A and B are shown apart, each in its own frame.
Chain A
């Protein structure tokens, strides 16, 4: 569809020429966050260019999910500033909704709407948020269902699909809003081993089209294949950030070395 075309077309141009008004997709400057007394995010500074793919890894409780959830304000940060697509996140609800419209998110537990059919899940936001006529929305919904290779499931309910299929529907649901940035919060962690590949394949094809992606994942194969940068987080801080080859071959920080030795055998 047209939106997919704009994504593929605009990304490299924006990256190289920086002629668009906002070449930076996401910028986090000195972001800090506390849960009560607990300091979850400590002075996060991160700049993501358009079309860049970031993989974020780290031990559980290191704040990686919290960090990407701050980008679409599912979590509120208390200090510092986050600028998404040229708009700074404040308490202004209108701006938050605007940003959420343009930032897709895929969750660990899919978070599909169980009372709606697959197609209704896909068309809900285009119809109610983008005010698209139902027919057009369904056309777009079917287009993205075909892209994730399950158009035959359109009339079923989420509960009738396998985990891998549900996660692909969740990805398609985000794509229907033609987002500029996609956030993935451990998209394969809740899946059976057999289904991880089908979801990763979908993500790889999305990356190939030039989508700006931030993925929290432990799939190191995926990181090697598509990531422009890999970020390692621990105790709420960014510990190490490098391009994937150097990151895996030659980690610098002790904590990174320990982590990698645990997960790569």
Chain B
């Protein structure tokens, strides 16, 4: 009888030496294998591949010929883009875009005043970079810049004239009043008990007077300095009024999109919370607003904002012609945003609410610190989808007589200076490129945000 060892036991096995790694055969890796598995894996796939190749071969060279090879790049009027004038086939007339470029950006904004728009553009770009670039310093100052300084600065700069100055004076007055209130509060903090909880008040009372309410006081002081500076600057330069009727082009497109985006998100959050509220009246109002606005085309909302809003307010307070569609677009986007955010709220497990509640967090603290950060993260794709839709929907404001970017292109198409057979194709291609770049940028940014957040917290 032999011993039962791994040497002779029929089912036992022990590896003696490790196998070295070998290169895979050509049918598994390499370009030929890739083509076979991805392009010609079966008859249907092969036919589709060939069809796609045919479409690309027939259209792409034609487009390249039209938009690049045969295109006209410089010239001062339609003669540069007429085939019989220059003696060769003519493709896209980029000279026309170059010639009217200023108009596409500023609309009819008076030429000597266009530097004001440029400053607003620069401020906007700075603000966007500041907030969207993750590692930018002083995020809180950036928030203050984007949501307080930028809107007020843009309003004063773009509009100018007595209205803007009056508005600034009013703002400075308001800040001064707030400052006086907080000065009094510093010495008599008990007065603040109407809007501050007892726990927080106790913390403030423990401080010496000059340190009480440090944050609001710092914010008020900062606002006062900024408003004062804007007022002094506006007064020194003496900005003449530029009516909103003269605004146009990309300026207006960006303005409507930015206002829509900035207002629709917080409004949407409030509406979504309202719709999920346990208080029946708040819930009913939210549902009515969302369903009504969502059930009506944007064009109808714009018409109503344009013709009905002035009916509800006295003549002298009638809102500006540009302000009406601004409000309309923001409210319209808010209704959609509310439903997107509600989806995120519904995806939150009940345990998160219970965990927050069991620690003694109040409703608003729970929402702000626990629920909304997670819910909004879930629906980033939906939110950006709504933003992109909103950006493209800004073109609809043309029907209430606002000269947005697309409208400025159409206006130049009827201009005889550049009336050529290819002007129309060029103009619309330019518009498509502009809208695509903007929307694509938003989409890419949202993807990077998603990745960044997913890296931070793997579940």
Q: CA of A135 to CA of B365 in the docked complex: distance in angstroms?
A: 20
Residues of A with C-beta under 8 A to B457: 114-115, 157-159
**Do A131 and B362 have beta carbons less than 8 Å apart?**
no
Q: A128-B365, A131-B199, A159-B458 are in contact. Are A115 and B377 (CB under 8 A)?
A: yes
Of listed B202, B354, B377, B459, residue having the most chain A CB within 10 A: B354
**Do B458 and A74 have beta carbons less than 8 Å apart?**
no
Residues of B with C-beta under 8 A to A235: none
Taking CB atoms and an 8 Å cut-off, the chain A residues in 112-171 that contact chain B are: 112-115, 124-125, 128-131, 157-160
With both beta carbons as reference points, the residue of chain B lying nearest to A124 in the complex is identified as B369
B368: min CB distance to chain A, Å: 9
Number of B residues near A (Cβ < 8 Å) is: 25
B350: min CB distance to chain A, Å: 9
**Do A97 and B362 have beta carbons less than 8 Å apart?**
yes
Contact with A along B350-372 (1 / 0, CB 8 A): 01101111111110010001100
Residues of A with C-beta under 8 A to B354: 74, 105, 107, 111
**Do A131 and B377 have beta carbons less than 8 Å apart?**
no
With both beta carbons as reference points, the residue of chain B lying nearest to A106 in the complex is identified as B358
**Is residue A173 contacting chain B, with contact meaning CB distance below 8 A?**
yes
Residues of A with C-beta under 8 A to B374: 113-115
Number of A residues near B (Cβ < 8 Å) is: 31
**Do B199 and A157 have beta carbons less than 8 Å apart?**
no
B407: min CB distance to chain A, Å: 43
**Is residue B87 contacting chain A, with contact meaning CB distance below 8 A?**
no
**Do A100 and B359 have beta carbons less than 8 Å apart?**
yes
**Do B369 and A74 have beta carbons less than 8 Å apart?**
no
Residues of A with C-beta under 8 A to B370: 113, 124
**Do B369 and A128 have beta carbons less than 8 Å apart?**
yes
Q: Which among A100, A109, A128, A159 is the interface contact of B358 at CB below 8 angstroms?
A: A100
Q: CA of A174 to CA of B359 in the docked complex: distance in angstroms?
A: 7
Q: Which among A98, A100, A104, A115 is the interface contact of B373 at CB below 8 angstroms?
A: A115
Residues of B with C-beta under 8 A to A107: 351, 354-355, 358
Q: CA of A103 to CA of B358 in the docked complex: distance in angstroms?
A: 8
Q: Which among A101, A160, A173 is the interface contact of B458 at CB below 8 angstroms?
A: A160
Q: Which among B203, B352, B360, B377 is the interface contact of A100 at CB below 8 angstroms?
A: B360
**Do A100 and B458 have beta carbons less than 8 Å apart?**
no
Contact with B along A80-107 (1 / 0, CB 8 A): 0000000000000100011011011101
**Is residue B31 contacting chain A, with contact meaning CB distance below 8 A?**
no
**Is residue B200 contacting chain A, with contact meaning CB distance below 8 A?**
yes
Residues of A with C-beta under 8 A to B458: 157, 159-160
Residues of A with C-beta under 8 A to B362: 93, 97
**Do B360 and A112 have beta carbons less than 8 Å apart?**
no
Residues of B with C-beta under 8 A to A131: 199-200, 202-203
**Is residue B456 contacting chain A, with contact meaning CB distance below 8 A?**
yes
Q: CA of A101 to CA of B374 in the docked complex: distance in angstroms?
A: 23
Of listed A105, A107, A114, residue having the most chain B CB within 10 A: A114
A233: min CB distance to chain B, Å: 21
**Is residue A66 contacting chain B, with contact meaning CB distance below 8 A?**
no
CB-defined A-B contacts under 8 Å, sample of 24: A72-B357, A74-B358, A105-B354, A107-B355, A109-B351, A110-B351, A111-B354, A111-B355, A112-B355, A113-B356, A114-B374, A114-B457, A124-B359, A124-B369, A125-B359, A125-B361, A128-B369, A129-B199, A129-B360, A129-B365, A131-B203, A159-B457, A159-B458, A160-B458
